[in-house]
Amino acid sequence: MPKPSVTATRHLRVLIVEDNPDGRETLRLLLEMAGHKVEVAGDGLEGLEVALRDHPDAAVIDIGLPRLDGYALAQRLRAAFGPDIFLITYTSYGQPEDCRRAFAAGFNVHLTKPADPHELYQCLERVPGR
């Protein structure tokens, strides 16, 4: 995989919650090559456990997850961390209603798969500093 042409200006702790193993690994590699520390989870409940344990700066979350969907996961993360976590949905659910539901659940950004990696990098640049 080629090295990304963008290196993060800040190194964030990022959680990826994606049930597709190939998609999860691709995102992990892209974000690690940009300099971020990445944890991964394969379903919504595992994502919640990892987030509560590791307190990530940002989470990239699929919507169609087993055991706890991305909307419910976002609501729980927002309840636990308030504005101290930046939530990005990275999903194939791209209809206007899906976007509305994502923002209502607490996501900061809605990206539709397949998004350009630079778009994801730009979203992570918007994560507020601690």
Task: Give dist(CA 84, CA 23) in Å, integer.
Answer: 26
- Enter the tokens of residue 71: 């909307």
The β-bridge partners of 16 are 40, 60
Residue 99's CB is within 10 A of a number of other CB atoms, namely: 16
Question: For each of the chain's 130 residues, which pLDDT tens digit applies?
Answer: 444 456 667 899 999 999 999 999 999 999 999 999 999 999 999 999 999 999 999 999 999 999 999 999 999 999 999 999 999 999 998 899 999 999 999 999 999 998 888 999 999 999 987 5
For residues 71 and 98, the answer to whether their CB atoms sit within 8 Å is no
pLDDT computed for residue 4 by the predictor: 46
Reported pTM:
0.92
Q: Is 106 left (phi over 0), alpha (psi -120 to 50) or beta?
A: left
Task: Give dist(CA 67, CA 99) in Å, integer.
Answer: 21
Tell me the fold of 13-121.
Rossmann fold (3.40.50)
